[in-house]
Amino acid sequence: MTPNTFQLDDPVLALDWSPDGRRLAVAGISGPCAVVDTTTGIAAQRLAGHPGGTLALSWSAKGDLIATGGQDGKVKLWVADSGALLRELDGGAAWVEHVAFSPDGGHLATTAGKRLRLWKANGELAFEFAAHESTVSALQWRADGKGVATACYGKIRCFRIGEPKPYEMLDWKASLLSLAWSPNGRYLASSTQENTIQFFRLPSAGREPLQMTGYPSKVKNLAWDRTATFLASGGGEVITVWNVSGQGPAGSLPLQLVGHPKNLSALAYQRRGELKEIERIGLEIEQLLKQVPGATDIVADRIVGKPYLEFEIDRDRIARYGVSVRDVQDVIEIAIGGMNIMESVEGRERYPIRVRYLREFREDLPELEKILVPSSTGVQIPLAQVLTIKSVLGPQEIKGERGLLVGYVTMNTRERDEVSVVEDAEALLQGAVRDGRLKLPPGYYWEWSGQFENQVRATKRMSILVPLCMFIMFVMLYLGFKRWWIAPIIFFGILVSASGGFIMLALWGVNLSVAVWVGFLVLFGVVDDDGVIISTYLENIFDKATFNSVQDVRDAVVQAGLKRIRPCLMTISTTIFGLMPIFWATGRGSDVMQPMAIPSVGGMVVSVLVTIFIAPCLFCAVEEWKWKRAQRLAPKGAIA
């Protein structure tokens, strides 16, 4: 697995994920901060930060604001999308060590020295607690946003919103480093200077906390999983995942960090999507996309709805019978799922032999409950006595990308190009999120994928190639004629012929695409050739002839046009007749060739009717102006 790497100008001191998981806010030790796009590793925004150093930062629940605290004693609120400073608050001491938005986004908690300050969303100070015994070493919100906890030396204080005094005080004999409140609000974990973790159950009611020991160095980071079952802790170069329900480590994993040897600087769980929630969001998006013009065949994945049999093993019962969990699972696997016990060899063919119950037994719940499990004493026990069988609805299919659960909403387009449909759909979904029609919890997001991505990439490439080709054509025309103004004249004819291509696209009902732009390039080349043919002949005549009046100039242009009209018409007509069969083609590749031919034919028709007369007329106008100017500047009595 290759990570996206972003190089900050100085050592990283703090970082925090955005709620949608797409951006990462990073603070450097000298002060500047950056908002990094995690898919590309590029800094989308840069924040000025705090003079002397930015010590802490936090995203708001909506992902629109970033709060930072630093060594200047200030708390600053930044607009995430633009990097502009929105508001500056007084932290209450020389250094602001911690800042944290509440999960509901309604409050901001900050600590500076011994002070805890709680701010409302409008910047108003809600309350302040300044009676900590020493500098606050950790700050943590409860998952529901209704409480906040602080740690200093050997004490943990829990506060409720609107109550400036703590409602819970937990004492410990060692200095505390970090806090982690479980998502359900029932447990509070903290790490100490003595390389241990303590685990409190709330309300504590005087109970001693559970201790977890055995770390080679100090534990600097703690993080709960979504179910409040596992607690991850980082110390030194080791991450340990504790199964809190079982009071033991689920596994100690050696961690190799690129660029941060021997120090785990940050640890956090990224929120994962629930399948039911993903299905709900997909169905809401399906209904919204039906309002987009040109969007058809819109179908969202129906993820949940397949029936499953769920076996819940009662550990207390199997302990009484002396049966292990593995024994019960083996019986279920063999009886229902089946197990390959051997292979039948018939010549060069091999067939597995599987043992399992007959279908009529597997499909009958009462019969499944009669399956026997051997106990430690040899007694056969029915499954009904050690577990509960339930029929539940589960996912029909589980899809994932980049380690995240996903659901698809598919659609096609009709009578509009893919890019414009996607742009309108994106604007509609963003508006639905703002006005509440589409509810998107933190950690969930959508992104677009499909054929339109090829169109976007090709359009970006053509936006460079088409102007480049036009510029090269202009330079060649400028260098190929003695009169510099002939090149703009020919180019003006090219632009007029392009109008014919767009008119033909509108009549045929074709959207802009890469093939259409290729057809325009063909059109520009043919019209350019016609302009060169007639302009070259005109230039040769005017280099050799001498004119005594404006009428002589016009007669020369007409004579040149009459002699060059046939080659120009032959060039255009052969191209048009060569492209006409494409309009009746229905085989493979016709869907690409027709959009390529439409602008070429439409532009050449306009070129026959209009453009072919532009170059001679403009050439004549310029030569008339030059002749009249020469007559005005000539000495009186001189013969023209």
Condensed to tens digits (0 to 9), the pLDDT of residues 576-620 reads 888 888 877 777 777 778 888 888 888 888 877 776 777 788 888
Rounded mean pLDDT, 256-277? 40
Tokens of 261: 């040897």
Condensed to tens digits (0 to 9), the pLDDT of residues 437-471 reads 888 888 788 888 887 788 788 888 888 888 888 88
Q: Which residues of the chain does CATH 2.130.10.10 include? A: 1-171
Q: pLDDT value at position 252?
A: 36
Q: How far apart are CA 522 and CA 212, in angstroms?
A: 75
The reported pTM is 0.46
In the chain, the amino acid numbered 57 is L
Q: pLDDT value at position 251?
A: 37
Considering the domain 458-633 in this protein, what is its CATH number? Answer: 1.20.1640.10
CA angle, 217 as apex, 213 and 218 as ends, to 5°?
80
Q: How far apart are CA 223 and CA 219, in angstroms?
A: 11
Q: How far apart are CA 127 and CA 582, in angstroms?
A: 76
Condensed to tens digits (0 to 9), the pLDDT of residues 388-422 reads 888 888 888 888 887 788 888 888 888 787 888 88
Q: pLDDT value at position 27?
A: 82
Q: How far apart are CA 9 and CA 427, in angstroms?
A: 36
Q: How far apart are CA 472 and CA 468, in angstroms?
A: 6
Strand 23-28 versus strand 12-17 pairing type: antiparallel
Contact 265, 237 (CB under 8 A): no
Return the CATH class of domain 305-394: alpha beta
* Nearest CA-CA partner of 529 in 483, 567, 481: 567
Q: Count the residues in the chain.
A: 640
For tokens 């929630």, what's the residue? 277
Residue 262: Cβ within 10 Å count? 8
Considering the domain 177-270 in this protein, what is its CATH number? Answer: 2.20.25
Helix (H, G, I), strand (E, B) or coil at 200: strand
Confidence of residue 235 (pLDDT cuts 50, 70, 90): low
Q: Which residues of the chain does CATH 3.30.2090.10 include? A: 305-394
* Nearest CA-CA partner of 605 in 499, 533, 518, 507: 499
Q: Which residues of the chain does CATH 1.20.1640.10 include? A: 458-633
Q: How far apart are CA 556 and CA 545, in angstroms?
A: 9
Confidence of residue 245 (pLDDT cuts 50, 70, 90): low
Q: Which fold has domain 1-171?
A: Methylamine Dehydrogenase; Chain H (2.130.10)
